[in-house]
Structure 1
Amino acid sequence: KVVDVPRGKAYAVDISRVKEAMDEKTKLIFIASPNNPTGNVTTEGDIVELVKAGIVVVVDEAYYEFSGVTVAHLVPQYENLIVLRSFSKWAGLAGLRIGYGIFPQLIAEQLLKIKQPYNINLAAQIAVKESLADLEYLRGTVRAIISERERLFQKLEELRFLKPFPSQANFVFCAVVDGDAEGIHRGLEKRGIFVRYFDTPLLRNSLRISVGKPEHTDALVEALREIGGKRSG
């Protein structure tokens, strides 16, 4: 059984509510940091507080390379802390399902006992090998995305009908404060620009915009101004 604990203000993990949700049946706590789709990180202090509760804590750091914030260095200190990473985002290998985990030795030994006999496929192995051989290029791409993310955030802040949230991932999350997220999504789609929109209770009337090249940012902002009309200011 999975128990969802709603995030608090500005989509931060509500540590007190997580603790309240824990009971004798709780086996694992799973946290995404940076979070998808909001892009915010959970502080080291908050994660340590949960780890000290004695439950296994898994921190999904799929977007770590865009934030530089990690708790991987704490794994040797705590036998109940696991960090997961991916090659899907920073290395562009989405679809090959390749990643890795940083585990305490005891947990790693137990996982090896129950793992399936099949490892990753040959295409994924070759792609990872080539990615690791070209780290400087990939790191340069990450730096470019981070730089453009900040410019995108600033441009979105200028649009009065959107409220962008600071992000440490490769996207920017926006609440639509005047208008309809689905309508904006459709308007962008007609112009050949694709973003994600959400209408779930906790993410109602919001958008997630991936970071692209500078020309992509410019085209997006121009389209948003057209769609927003006078509300763009």
Structure 2
Amino acid sequence: MMSVLSGLIRPEIADLEAYTPIVPLEVLADRLGLPVAQIVKLDANENPYGPAPAALAALQATATYHIYPDPEQTALRKALADYTGRSAEEILCGAGADELIDLVLRLIISPGDAIIDCPPTFGMYRFDAGICGGRVISIPRRADFSLDLPAIARAAAQGAKAIFLTSPNNPTGNPLPRSELLQILELPLLVVVDEAYIEFAEPEHAPVGASDLLDRYPNLAILRTFSKWAGLAGLRVGYGLFPRWLSEQLWKIKQPYNVSVAAQAAAVASLAVADELRARVQAIVAERERLFQHLNTFPFLTPFPSVANFILCRVEGRDARELKLALERRGVLVRHYQTPLLNGYIRISVGTPAQTDALIAMLAEVTR
């Protein structure tokens, strides 16, 4: 019977490697035998300052949690139109930008269709393409993590339907140069620019990123999130800026109640105090520079310049995974990837000054 039932599974799903998420904080604290308050969590690029007080107040004041949310996210899209300077008709909201990645791929990818992936980068592009039965043409980045533009052009000429580019890139922290984006936009494919960390690259103003190119390039789509700059990772709310031809089709397949009442209320309240949140972003950017200087003092670490809220470090002369585990046993969490391109690296999220101090102290302790 089990063999018959297992035959019901699509073969591309049966062969798919599961995505490995971060272990929940409470689970890991219990495993380590440490109180949650003692954990220094620098492994998931979360905002250490949490939501704005206005967002927390909006959650407390909302009285409609027993009613389904607005399926069109009307108030949120209006507030986002003011924030981004784009029309509400171009904006689609999702349960984090992750849902929008999934929607775009489900819309355009049939089994056997290809996308271009430029590792090391965010793993959900490859993962969601696999769910759709798509092929992934991998164009690894150069040694300095810049894009291999000639190889991307060759892959586009082979019929790839889309390319996903994170700017700033995760986990390397480098921005996508405008000149390179313009070259890629001339290729015959959909260009999805994931700007999950754009506020940290443009900390003083509402982000522009690539949004000023939307009117010139109908093959451009932009993804953003409230998880990082607004501290709403646990509520799962993101949005995309899409050309009309694409957004009209995405609306057809979007789940109607995909963004919760709580997420909408907190996101609208966050946008109302964007200046306050940008001040927090500036504090994180300042701490990023302090952290970078500290990391440079360790001979076994080579940190890479970053315009995001994390720093990638090459580990030299010792095992990167063992370093991650040694820090973990002391209650300091950083990210290590079990992939060939990143096996010798760790990624460290930017926390508060106190968290930076704890990290540096533990790095010194594990090297004694």
TM-score, reference length from structure 2: 0.60
Alpha-carbon distance between aligned partners in 2 of 1:203 and 1:186, rounded to the nearest angstrom = 16
Moved more, 27-36 or 114-123: 114-123
User: Which amino acid in the other structure matches residue 5 of structure 1?
Assistant: I
Alignment equivalent of 2:189, drawn from 46, 55, 63? 55
String of CA shifts for 1:9-63, please: whole Å, max 9, x gaps: 2111211121122235311111111111111111111111011012110000000
Alpha-carbon distance between aligned partners in 2 of 1:3 and 1:97, rounded to the nearest angstrom = 29
Provide the aligned length of Structure 1 versus Structure 2: 229
User: 3-state SS of the aligned residue for 1:22?
Assistant: helix
Which position in structure 2 is the counterpart of 1:7? 141
Alpha-carbon distance between aligned partners in 1 of 2:308 and 2:221, rounded to the nearest angstrom = 20
How well do the aligned residues superpose, as a CA RMSD in angstroms? 1.5
Which position in structure 1 is the counterpart of 2:272? 133
Structure 1 residue 171: Cα displacement:
0.7
User: Pairwise mapping of residues 33-112 of structure 1 onto structure 2 (< 5 A)?
Assistant: 33-68=167-202, 70-112=209-251
Conserved in 2, the CA contact under 8 Å of 1:173 and 1:206? yes
Instruction: Determine what percentage of the aligned residue pairs are the same residue.
Output: 49
Question: Does residue 211 in structure 1 map to residue 350 in structure 2?
Answer: yes
Which structure has the larger Rg? 2
Which position in structure 2 is the counterpart of 1:226? 365
Which position in structure 1 is the counterpart of 2:320? 181
User: Which amino acid in the other structure matches residue 67 of structure 1?
Assistant: A
TM-score, reference length from structure 1: 0.93
Structure 1 residue 2: Cα displacement:
2.1
Conserved in 2, the CA contact under 8 Å of 1:162 and 1:178? no
Conserved in 1, the CA contact under 8 Å of 2:142 and 2:148? yes
- RCO higher in structure (CA 8 A, sep ≥6): 2
User: Which amino acid in the other structure matches residue 144 of structure 1?
Assistant: A
Structure 1 residue 133: Cα displacement:
2.1
User: Which amino acid in the other structure matches residue 222 of structure 1?
Assistant: A
Which position in structure 1 is the counterpart of 2:263? 124
String of CA shifts for 1:165-184, please: whole Å, max 9, x gaps: 00111111000012111121
Query: What 5-or-longer segments of structure 1 have no aligned partner?
Result: none
